[in-house]
Amino acid sequence: SLAYKKQLEDMRGKESMTQDGYKVELFANVGNPNNIPQVIMNDGEGIGLFRSEFLYLEHNDYPTEEEQFEAYKKALEGMKGKKVVIRTLDIGADKKADYFPLAQEENPALGLRAIRICLTRPELFKTQLRALCRASVFGKLSVMFPMIISSDEIDRSKDILQEVRNQLDKEGIAYDPNMEVGIMIETPAAAIISDELAKEVDFFSIGTNDLTQYTLAIDRQHTGLDKFFNPHHPAVLRLIKQTIENGHKAGIWVGICGELGADLELTEYFLRAGIDELSVSPPAILPLRKKIRSLNLSQK
């Protein structure tokens, strides 16, 4: 309605804060630097998930370091110093490209995808990390690894990042040495050992789309299982809460970048659990801010 539209308009420029002063960072999810104007228009306070897959899926061949660098730089400059969390390649499962050899698999969602591909093909990973490091001097960049299940994967990923930094040092190429390094919590394994993983990274971002799929053992693309699918399943909510607590015990920030972050029925639950950041699609930002501003957590 017109009145509701006006109420959303009024949310522009306001703080994402409850009536009793609990502040949340309200960020946007994007899949392409061309989406940045939409983030600005909807008053996004940063980007909490930049899906880098478009660089690979919208090309006929592997994107070069230069192509990637330009795309990341464009996103950082477009956000004018606000935080931009760029996720490294999350290809595989449902996301495929012709030039990219991926074997047919019985269970692609449980197969060679995301960080598993990057650790199997380090030269591919290095190209992306080099582009990210080079772009990091043009704004406030955080890098995030998807589909992590173990601290060994974090160690291996960070080792490769260190190799890239050493090489850049040798070449005299600038990068931000303080770039945050975080992981997605989107497997039950990662949520369950989040106390251990938190010691190794600067932040967690909870990917509720995959976390729900893997926790409930229900394919996220399956349309015939509605009777069994409960997006508010207590197992998923407990894993989220536990992840936030474990992150905070280690002193790192914790956000949500899956669809559930925009679910207004859960906003109060997430805030009470201590969430620091919510990253949602640009049109969901202002409704979520309105919801946050209506809450008073000091009232039971």
Longest distance between any two alpha carbons in the chain, whole Å: 59
53 binds Mg ion (CB under 5 A): no
User: Per-residue x/- marks for Mg ion, 210-239, CB under 5 A?
Assistant: x-----------------------------
What are the helix and strand counts (H, E) for the chain?
13, 8
Does residue 257 carry a catalytic annotation?
yes
Instruction: For Mg ion, give the closer residue by CB, 45 or 186.
Output: 186
Least Å distance, CB 177 to ligand PEP, is 28
| C-alpha separations of 43 from 28, 79, 93 in Å | 9, 11, 33
Instruction: For ligand PEP, give the closer residue by CB, 161 or 257.
Output: 257
90 labeled binding residue: no
The footprint of Mg ion on residues 172-201 (CB under 5 A) is 186
Neighbours of 225 (CB within 10 A): 10
Stretch that binds ligand PEP, among 61-69, 128-136, 202-210, 267-275 (CB under 6 A): 202-210
Cα–Cα distance measured from residue 106 to residue 145, given in angstroms and rounded to the nearest whole number: 25
Among 208, 215, 246, 281, binds ligand PEP (CB under 6 A): 208
Strands (E), 7-139: 25-30, 47-51, 83-87
Burial class (CB in 10 A: 0-12, 13-18, 19+), 221: exposed
The footprint of ligand PEP on residues 243-282 (CB under 6 A) is 257-258
209 labeled binding residue: yes
Residues placed in the known binding site for phosphoenolpyruvate: 51, 87, 209-210, 220
